[in-house]
Amino acid sequence: MEHVLQTLYKQKRTELKSQLGLANIHQVPQLQKIVVNCSIGSQGERKQAIEDAVNEVTLITGQKPVITKSKKAIANFKLRQGENVGVKVTLRGGKMYDFMMRLVRTAIPRIRDFRGVAPRAFDGRGNYTLGVSEQSIFPEIELDKIKRPLGFDITFVTSTNNDDHAREMLRALGMPFRTRTAQKKEEGAEAAAA
């Protein structure tokens, strides 16, 4: 069964092809996978923090994450090589589209004073990373059961190397990018505060 966002993407492909000036429909960028990465940082009870992160990321994404380990020892952070430092999930297919739909339509609008996501957080190769500071924006998480705040990096991996093409594809899928006027107001407020 095809997901709603997948159907929407197929409907918008020809529109994106002409908008981006592409010669072939197969050149239109596609969403390949979404990677959700959660680091526990320097928590005192590392084992319990990893268990909490596994449980909450499983609730949010609908898929059990893998535990990431440190590649080298860092004495300043009291970190040994091979120690658990976070969790990571790679979503593809139906679960990917389901997660994106819940993120865009339910979780992101719950952010206080939300004006849109930053349109410049691309890596130069067509991939977009969105930082989420707390898991409480996801409706699957019960607020009274949160033991510690967890931040996430959500990376949208696309099939293109062009950031502008990837931005238009994500916008067609419903990603609420900040408009230029809102961005200028925010930059003006930051300049006035400094």
Query: What domains can you pick out in the chain, each with its CATH number?
Result: 4-193 (3.30.1440.10)
Q: Is the Cα dihedral 182, 187, 192, 194 positive or negative? A: positive
Task: State residue 116's pLDDT score.
Answer: 79
Q: Which residues of the chain have pLDDT under 70?
A: 1-2, 41-44, 76-79, 142-144, 146, 180-194
For 86-97, the pLDDT digits (tens) are: 889 998 888 888
Q: What's the pLDDT score for residue 31? A: 86
Q: What is the pLDDT of residue 188?
A: 56
**pLDDT value of residue 84:** 74
Residue for token digits 């300043």? Answer: 76
Q: What tokens does 192 get?
A: 């006035």
The pLDDT assigned to 38 comes to 84
| DSSP letter assigned to residue 147 | -
Could you give the maximum distance between any two Cα atoms of the chain, in Å?
55
pLDDT of residue 191: 56
pLDDT at 2: 61
pLDDT of residue 180: 63
Contact residues for 176 (Cβ-Cβ < 8 A; gap 6+): 104, 108, 109, 114, 116, 117
pTM > 0.85: no
pLDDT of residue 171: 85
pLDDT at 7: 79
